[in-house]
Amino acid sequence: MRFRTKCLGFAVMCAFGIATASAQFYTGAFVGFNTSGLKGALKYVQQGQSSVGNVADAGSTAFTFGLTGGYQVLPPGTAGGWYKLDIALEASYASYSYFENGFNSVNGAGKFAADGLSGGGTSIIAFDIMPIHRLVFPHFKLLSPYIGLGLGIDWLSTSDITSTNAAQSGTFSGTSQVKMGLLVFYGVVFHVSDMFQPYLQFKHMVPFGSESQFISSFQPTGGQAGGNQTFEGYIEDVPGHFSLTGGVRVEL
């Protein structure tokens, strides 16, 4: 019995060693553009009283950049060399003017600045978990198209909004929140060498949830009474996005 146990343990260790040896790690970087949609009613909660306004279109397009890393899971000869499975992690950054765009879409173009408001930009740091299913042509390895479904985790951080309006001067405090969603992505890897592999990628992020908060409180200035007040600002939607990026994978 002890001999069988030792043999089984040895077999498991060998299998793990072979799988690890076959895994091919890579890292890289990418840049591109990200179009983000956010459309819903503006909602405010002031001192416990809630009010819902008109529908705001806060969509925005931004430059994005990030890093990628992953490894090829299956041995090279799987499915006759036609199929590859990569497990990738991507981290990216982009900045949007959600609240300003939404405010202007309801109140008129340029109204945000005309009312003495500034700031309120939303930065998104995205962490994407991506199982990548790639097709490799044994006799034409230059192009390797791929597709996959994954999980997106977005950390949204909105900066404070400063108001110099005489009727309501002060600072609206921004918020931070985490949103998650389904990723649908596809693209192609260009196998120009064993080490450097440029790629082009399209990615959709379909978010979960029903609303996004951008303001948490209001602190008046200029001698106004009341002190720090509860003043929350929402858009009744969650930002999704579509990105087009290009980058380079470096095999390690």
129-145: per-residue pLDDT in tens? 999 999 998 888 899 99
* pLDDT on residue 18: 41
Backbone angles phi, psi at 198, to 5 degrees: -65, 155
Could you give all domains of the chain from N- to C-terminal order, each with its CATH number?
27-251 (2.40.160.70)
* CA distances to 40, 90, 137 from 29, in Å: 34, 9, 25
- What's the pLDDT band for 227 if we cut at 50, 70, 90? low
Please give the average per-residue pLDDT across 192-201, as a whole number. Answer: 94
User: Over the stretch 173-193, which tens digit does the pLDDT of each residue have?
Assistant: 999 999 999 999 999 999 999
Which tokens hold the place of 119?
A: 């700031």
pTM, rounded to two decimals = 0.83
* pLDDT on residue 36: 94
Q: Report d(CA 126, CA 148) in Å as an integer.
A: 17
